[in-house]
Structure 1
Amino acid sequence: MNAPERHPVLDPSALGASLAQTWDADILPELRDYIAVPAKSPMFDPQWLENGHIEAVVRRAAQWVEARRVAGLTLEVIRLTDAAGQPRTPVVFFEVPATRPEPDAGAAPTVLMYGHLDKQPEFNGWRSDLGPWTPVVENDKLYGRGGADDGYAIYASVAAIEALQAQGVAHPRIVGLIETCEESGSYDLPAYVDALRERLGNVSLVVCLDSGAGNYEQLWLTTSLRGNVTGTLKVEVLTEGIHSGDASGVVPSSFRVLRQLLDRLEDSRTGRLLPASLHCEVPPHRLAQARATAALLGDEVWRRLPWSCGADGGPTLPTTTDPTEVLLNRTWRPTLSVTGAEGFPAVAHAGNVLRPYSAFKLSLRLPPLVDGPSAALELKRLLEAEPPYNARVTFVPDGRAGAEGATGWDAPHLSPWLERSLDAASIAQFGAPLGYIGQGGTIPLMNMLERGFPQAQMMVCGVLGPKSNAHGPNEFLHLPYARRLTAAVAQVIADHP
């Protein structure tokens, strides 16, 4: 009988050093080029296909992956069409076979690595020496749109596999799924998951590199994600603008009507959302984790935000200064934000005219256990019912063909092997134990994968730490953290039982 094949034991220190070198020599130059391309998500660039920016970043990333020294790697850019024959946003799919003995192919455990290449729009407020499409490295931070959220993911994922193979360390079968529609709600992704279901295989671990960190000193595991409903609320009272001296007091202000509608949804004094259906109970173990994280991070959970100067010369105050309540407010409680407006001329061009309409772009963040599509229907019913003054009121949720509203996600319980591995990787690569934190953002894929692969474990993490400011001005990727995170991911993959 032949002796079983033996593989070298992973050297975490050498792993971290080699991946730091890969980041500096190979990944950073690619991310500079990636940031320079305005590959905005389809919601923000309806002519994405004609403009070719998404195609450019997909093609560049695919070429980089195929040129790496990863044994057995195959890659395909998959392009589906919808029911009307229109092109869907492309997906990059790669596969690396196991380098250790496994059961038959159908039962072999598979690690699924996820990221996206589409970006948020420019936004305003960038420093004069920075810009969304201008890559700048300063103080170990790479500035520019999309580098941290999360163009680095495909590069870090493949580099982690390459580093394991370079040490001769055995790993399970690995597949990669990199989409280009995430910032638009991933409306194309379900079709790709269905089409690739057999090729994805027996997914036993999902590594999602599209999340955040409580600090840059340790590995952070995302424990929950909020859902989201976005859409446009519009109030119309006139067919054209009228001199305010002639019409005010007779024609109701469209803004006042809009304000009354929002009062149905939100207590404007406290910010609390009023409908009970938008709330859920916080599970006891998540409450305990929030308290532990609050004790670790303290006031930094709110002080790290870029507060403006307040009325007395000090900073604007948060809704609460209790660190536990801050964490719960941004992860387990619904919150309304107005993120855009129409019907309002710029202040410099605003005459004495009663405007014919007002429109707000709403973003409603939902607790992880609240159903997104149901919340979208409830929001539409609440805002459109019995409008004041019989004004024309419409609320149009974003999304396609009934896909409006994204449901949040509460991570499954960690298996003992993964909890041990994550903590060991954090200690080896960061010198500090694993941290647990809920995130206020939304990743629609996570619920989709949990439904499709209910036995899979989830490693959701990312580089969006303090002041990294994804979606806003001056977004940056913290390079030292990204290097260590990549090594931690590789270490966990090597530990996969």
Structure 2
Amino acid sequence: MAAVEPRTVRDTVRGLWADDILPSLSGLVEIPALSPAFDPAWAASGHLDAAVEHVRGWLTARDVPGARVEVVRLEGRSPVLLLDVPATEGAEDAGTVLLYGHLDKQPPVGGWSEGLGPWQPVVRDGRLYGRGSADDGYAGYAATAALEAVRAAGGAHARAVVLLETGEESGSPDLPAYLEHLSGRLGRVSFVVCLDSGGNDYERLWLTTSLRGMAQVRVTARVLDSAQHSGLASGVVPSSFRVLRQLLDRLEDSATGEIRLAECNVEIPENRLAEARAAVSAAPGAVRDAYPRHGATRPVSEDEIELLLNNSWRPTLSVIGASGLPEPAEAGNVLRDHTTLALSFRLPPTADSAAALNAVEKALTTDVPYSATVEVSGTEAADGWNAPDAAPWLATGLERVSEQVFGAPWRAIGLGGSIPFMGLLGAKYPEAQFLVTGALGPDSNAHVPDEWLHLEQAQRVTEAVAHLLHAHATA
């Protein structure tokens, strides 16, 4: 496998980022393209369509021989933007490379620093600030630049399809329908590149080798037909909150955070244990110090390897919402008739999410304390993903880009969150190789105020993808 010429790749990528990508990406930041879950009237507001049109215009202006740009729309679903680039000569039999990103965004939320805002692109100290800059607006630009760079350097790539969806931040509900609709056109997908991830520092290429699954449920404990004076009813009628506390104890050990349901736990593979040890060694403190703990709050464990495994291969429960509770300043002496909690479980990558959800529902509704009424609603489940072992061409290519592009060894981690697309693709194309990476770092502020993209890391990731496209085509 001959390597593609690195200087031309580097010069092409950096020129594209400086002259073409950064101005257009800044324009994309300005568009409040909220994901459909946060803008149910997205079709009427037009912001998602504006984001698609903005990037479509940029792609159409690229000088990539034979490339086709198309917006695909299925009735009642948010659109998908495609760039279809034919294989270079001699790589026609290498299958299809699918390069994935998304154009929809999280809500703006308040609390942005002075001089920054969600729809206000600001370049400062090598960072592009603004909502969607890092998650994941840059991905389509980087994928296209990688294709242009490998061609400019005289390298090869298989047929490449850049797929940019507009529902990822809503859980990609429309993606299965689009994959089914496009399956004949995509053909044999042999390599999947996802640029919606990142790692623990900006010094090396980080691969995501697993993603946790999830299960969600809203549970309501109802004890009265109507609320009553607490001085009269308490001690006679059980508290709905106490009922839920007891039910939660069936699910989670409140002292340790361990999930008690067997269906939610798996044995961690030995190769993922080794990756966790190597990741912590490469970037000590990155996991432990990633989040702004308040005051003297300690992490769950002092062992950083255990923290990483907790976040990537062990189940966790977060109470993400509640209702039936008034604001403290407005609370009277009332025994409330009900309490509702929204429960979010993150599941190990290889856990059966449907079985886990079923076990959760059973634990919440069987032998309920005081025979209180328990209602379960809003259930959702999605499997995680565990990457296949790297093929020899990919393993060799990773070593090469680590040396040539980053000057540091690549590392792999499991991601505590989910990218629904990866589970879908893993099931649909079990023989494909996967490169799940990106420019996000531990402090990139995705989903929260002051989101920013590390421009130098984004350029290096783009270079790496160019080299790995060539490695795939010439394997």
Q: How does 1:194-233 map to 2 (within 5 A)?
A: 194-233=180-219
Structure 2 CA distance for partners of 1:309 and 1:427, relative to 1, 3 Å: same
Output the amino acid matched with 1:122: P
2:37 aligned partner: 43
Cα offset, 1:241, TM superposition = 4.1
1:33 aligns with 2:9: no
- Check conservation: 2:91, 2:157, Cα contact below 8 A: no
Counterpart secondary structure, 1:268: coil
Q: How does 1:80-479 map to 2 (within 5 A)?
A: 80-81=74-75, 87-103=76-92, 107-310=93-296, 316-398=297-379, 404-479=380-455
- Check conservation: 1:116, 1:153, Cα contact below 8 A: yes
Cα offset, 1:197, TM superposition = 0.9
Output the amino acid matched with 1:328: L
CA distance in 1, matches of 2:39, 2:217: 17
- Check conservation: 1:424, 1:433, Cα contact below 8 A: no
Structure 2 CA distance for partners of 1:347 and 1:71, relative to 1, 3 Å: farther
Cα offset, 1:144, TM superposition = 2.6
Question: Of residues 55, 62, 73 in structure 2, which corresponds to 1:61?
Answer: 55
- Check conservation: 2:200, 2:286, Cα contact below 8 A: no
- Check conservation: 1:235, 1:254, Cα contact below 8 A: yes
1:13 aligns with 2:4: no
Cα offset, 1:67, TM superposition = 1.2
CA distance in 2, matches of 1:160, 1:30: 16
Structure 2 CA distance for partners of 1:56 and 1:423, relative to 1, 3 Å: same
The share of aligned pairs that are identical, in percent, is 51
Counterpart secondary structure, 2:424: helix
TM-score by length of 1: 0.89
CA distance in 2, matches of 1:247, 1:16: 73
Q: Map Cα deviations across residues 6-62 of structure 1 (whole Å, 9 max, x no partner).
A: xx9733233223322322332223333323333222222222222222222112111
CA distance in 1, matches of 2:110, 2:362: 33
Structure 2 CA distance for partners of 1:264 and 1:407, relative to 1, 3 Å: same
Counterpart secondary structure, 2:350: coil
Q: Map Cα deviations across residues 75-116 of structure 1 (whole Å, 9 max, x no partner).
A: 1111113xxxxx11211122100112245xxx5421110111
For these two proteins, the number of residue pairs brought into alignment is 472
Output the amino acid matched with 2:434: M
Q: Map Cα deviations across residues 381-432 of structure 1 (whole Å, 9 max, x no partner).
A: 222223333333222245xxxxx31111110010111011122112212111
- Check conservation: 1:235, 1:357, Cα contact below 8 A: yes
TM-score by length of 2: 0.93
- Check conservation: 1:397, 1:405, Cα contact below 8 A: no
CA distance in 1, matches of 2:116, 2:321: 23
Counterpart secondary structure, 2:65: coil
- Check conservation: 1:237, 1:391, Cα contact below 8 A: yes
Structure 2 CA distance for partners of 1:375 and 1:397, relative to 1, 3 Å: farther
Counterpart secondary structure, 1:318: coil
Cα offset, 1:219, TM superposition = 0.5
Structure 2 CA distance for partners of 1:325 and 1:196, relative to 1, 3 Å: same
Q: Map Cα deviations across residues 262-306 of structure 1 (whole Å, 9 max, x no partner).
A: 111101110000011110001111111211222222233212321
Counterpart secondary structure, 1:364: strand
Q: Which moved more, 1:274-283 or 1:462-471?
A: 462-471
Cα offset, 1:129, TM superposition = 4.3
Structure 2 CA distance for partners of 1:236 and 1:56, relative to 1, 3 Å: farther
Q: Which moved more, 1:331-340 or 1:369-378?
A: 369-378
- Check conservation: 1:91, 1:177, Cα contact below 8 A: yes
Counterpart secondary structure, 1:302: coil
CA distance in 1, matches of 2:267, 2:288: 23
1:401 aligned partner: none
CA distance in 2, matches of 1:128, 1:380: 45
Output the amino acid matched with 2:81: V
Structure 2 CA distance for partners of 1:40 and 1:254, relative to 1, 3 Å: farther
Structure 2 CA distance for partners of 1:422 and 1:264, relative to 1, 3 Å: same
Structure 2 CA distance for partners of 1:259 and 1:70, relative to 1, 3 Å: same
Cα offset, 1:439, TM superposition = 1.0
- Check conservation: 1:77, 1:91, Cα contact below 8 A: yes
CA distance in 2, matches of 1:208, 1:304: 23
- Check conservation: 1:376, 1:397, Cα contact below 8 A: no
CA distance in 1, matches of 2:362, 2:114: 44
Output the amino acid matched with 2:220: K
Structure 2 CA distance for partners of 1:225 and 1:168, relative to 1, 3 Å: same
Q: Which moved more, 1:14-23 or 1:365-374?
A: 14-23
Q: Map Cα deviations across residues 186-218 of structure 1 (whole Å, 9 max, x no partner).
A: 221111111111111121110011112121000
Cα offset, 1:160, TM superposition = 1.3
CA distance in 2, matches of 1:421, 1:320: 36
Structure 2 CA distance for partners of 1:80 and 1:223, relative to 1, 3 Å: same
Structure 2 CA distance for partners of 1:258 and 1:195, relative to 1, 3 Å: same
Structure 2 CA distance for partners of 1:173 and 1:406, relative to 1, 3 Å: same
- Check conservation: 1:229, 1:397, Cα contact below 8 A: no
The runs of 5 or more residues in structure 1 that have no matched partner are 1-7, 82-86, 311-315, 399-403
